[in-house]
Amino acid sequence: MTSSPAAAGLDTVLLTGAAGTLGRMLRAPLGTACRRLILSDLRPLEGPLADHEEDRPCDLTDRAAVQRLLQGVDAVVHLGAHSVEAPFEQMARANLDGVFHLYEAARLAGTRRVVFASSNHVTGCYPQGHPLDPTDPARPDGYYGVTKLFGEGMAQLYWYRYGVESVCLRIGTCLPEPPDRRALSTWISPRDLFSLVCASLRAPEVGCLVTYAISDNPARWYSDTGWAQLGYQPQDSAEPWRDQVGDKVFPEDSLMARLQGGSFLGIGPFDPPA
């Protein structure tokens, strides 16, 4: 196996889901943190490639293709997934098979660090305002949250058995600004997300660490467990938008208004496939 990316410096980093919303946010800044950035998605990338970038489309459900993709990769930022609540059948292959293929490929290639994009929806069925620590029992708010919990379990397996380190980031609401009152608690700015991802790539000896990915929001529901270990210090806060988003709330007495998962609790149940 190769040495830890924190010890050896970041040479080659793979960004999966590079054409998605978070992938587009992270692409340019992440390229400043490594010598070579491999961008992978089935959708076309935006704009021309920089000198340090390489476009390598890959279907995460193709095990052999994922193994080829991981060759020579020091660390992975794994964003590739079906990223919204949907019928289970629509997300199972990318979010379950895909994450297994990625971790198994990392084991075979000697890749020592994965930054896994988990989600606040792993605990989305807790009441709003209930303080949470990553060690609290999971309460997924839908199939999407269940698949992210599966990914966290895969990360634990590959650390304890095979020594592949992971930082599982339970990402909150990552947009340029918080869109509603719920996001005063869950928001993370794009700048803070990059800072946390970079810290997750470089911190020494993380083992398998789960932490919430949010900005320095006074109204946050989540503890900052893991931030000191990673060296993450958020620079932004949702609080300046409080007056702007004050009236943007979910319907009173709905699950969306009462539980932390927000809008995902308004999606489903789904009819069985035809």
Within-domain flag for 271: no
In this predicted structure, the answer to whether residue 130 has a pLDDT above a threshold of 70 is yes
For residue 206, which of 223, 231, 170, 188 has the smallest C-alpha distance?
A: 231
Within-domain flag for 202: yes
Within-domain flag for 45: yes
For residue 27, which of 7, 8, 6, 49 has the smallest C-alpha distance?
A: 49
Residue 89 CB burial class (10 angstroms; 0-12, 13-18, ≥19): exposed
**Backbone phi, psi, residue 99, to 5°:** -70, -35
Within-domain flag for 14: yes
In this predicted structure, the answer to whether residue 4 has a pLDDT above a threshold of 60 is no
pLDDT digits (tens, 9 = 90+) for 59-100: 999 999 999 999 999 999 999 999 999 999 999 999 999 999
Which pair of structure tokens corresponds to residue 257? 């208004």
**Which residues does 185 contact at the CB level (< 8 Å), separation at least 6?**
128, 172, 214, 217, 219, 220, 221, 222, 238, 260
Catalytic residue flag (residue 232): no
What's the pLDDT score for residue 7?
Answer: 39
In this predicted structure, the answer to whether residue 115 has a pLDDT above a threshold of 60 is yes
Q: How far apart are CA 159 and CA 181, in angstroms?
A: 37
**Which residues does 8 contact at the CB level (< 8 Å), separation at least 6?**
2, 74
Residue 134 sits in which domain range?
Answer: 5-266
In the chain, the percentage of residues whose pLDDT exceeds 70 is: 96
What's the pLDDT score for residue 272?
Answer: 82
H-state helical runs in the chain? 5-8, 21-30, 63-69, 88-92, 98-109, 143-162, 183-186, 190-202, 227-230, 242-245, 255-258
pLDDT digits (tens, 9 = 90+) for 252-272: 999 999 999 999 999 999 988
Within-domain flag for 162: yes
CATH code assigned at 226? 3.40.50.720
**Which residues does 6 contact at the CB level (< 8 Å), separation at least 6?**
113, 201, 202, 203, 204, 205
Which pair of structure tokens corresponds to residue 160? 């304890």
In this predicted structure, the answer to whether residue 127 has a pLDDT above a threshold of 60 is yes
Per-residue confidence at 273, pLDDT binned at 50, 70, 90? Answer: confident
Total domain count, the chain: 1
**Which residues does 202 contact at the CB level (< 8 Å), separation at least 6?**
5, 6, 10, 33, 231
**Backbone phi, psi, residue 151, to 5°:** -60, -40
Q: How far apart are CA 132 and CA 214, in angstroms?
A: 13
What's the pLDDT score for residue 9?
Answer: 64
Within-domain flag for 272: no
**What dihedral do alpha carbons 136, 138, 139, 143 form, nearest 10°?**
160
Rg for the chain, CA atoms, rounded: 18
Within-domain flag for 274: no
Of the residues 103, 126, 143, 144, only one is catalytic, namely: 144
Within-domain flag for 273: no
Q: How far apart are CA 213 and CA 187, in angstroms?
A: 9
Q: How far apart are CA 229 and CA 202, in angstroms?
A: 11
Helix (H, G, I), strand (E, B) or coil at 174: strand
